[in-house]
């Protein structure tokens, strides 16, 4: 054995001795009775069904009026039913161009498009920006869970 390894092996023996004494002190088992191998059982894995939304609201956005990061009222709806956030959003109709932001006016604006979906995301409010133009409203579907 190399002369350089002897001090390292001695230090490892000292560390093992200290670990054994620490285990003995915390478990109450004498050092000479400690098992040579400790088996740690695997963590229990519980597979459950995801909690899917069970309520929805169709928001009709009046595009005949210009909006500048105006909330659609989702936050008020969620507070009213005691739900912290919605978990799904889709756009059903886009009669005229508009953008929206999720949760905060500090977020990036997203161009609305029919069929656009936002899934598995905590949505607390939606902010709309548009120029006044269309005669029919845009429709957004928002889904949330009430237990």
Q: Average pLDDT for consecutive 10-residue bins of the chain (147 residues)?
A: 68 84 83 75 81 94 97 97 96 97 98 95 97 93 95
Q: What is the pLDDT of residue 110?
A: 98
Q: What is the DSSP string of 79-138?
A: HHHT-S-EEEEEEEE-SS--EEEES-TTSPPEE--TT-EEEEEEE--EEEEE-S--SS-E
| Token pair 């932001």: residue | 101
Q: What is the pLDDT of residue 116?
A: 97
pTM of the model: 0.67
Q: Cβ-count burial of 17 within 10 angstroms (0-12 exposed, 13-18 middle, 19+ buried)? A: exposed
């Amino acid at each position: 054995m190399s002369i350089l390894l002897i001090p390292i092996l001695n230090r490892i023996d000292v560390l093992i001795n200290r670990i054994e004494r620490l285990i003995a002190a915390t478990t109450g088992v004498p050092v000479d009775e400690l098992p040579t191998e400790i088996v740690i059982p695997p963590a229990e894995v519980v597979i459950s069904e995801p909690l899917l939304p069970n309520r929805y609201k169709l928001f009709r956005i009046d595009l005949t009026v210009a909006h500048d990061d105006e909330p659609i009222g989702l936050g008020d709806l969620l507070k009213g039913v005691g739900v912290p956030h919605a978990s799904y959003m889709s756009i059903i109709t886009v009669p005229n161009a508009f953008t929206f932001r999720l949760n905060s006016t500090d977020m990036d604006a997203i161009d609305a498009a029919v069929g656009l979906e936002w899934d598995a995301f905590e949505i607390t409010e939606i902010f709309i920006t548009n120029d006044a133009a269309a005669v029919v409203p845009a429709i957004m579907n928002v889904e949330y869970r009430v237990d």
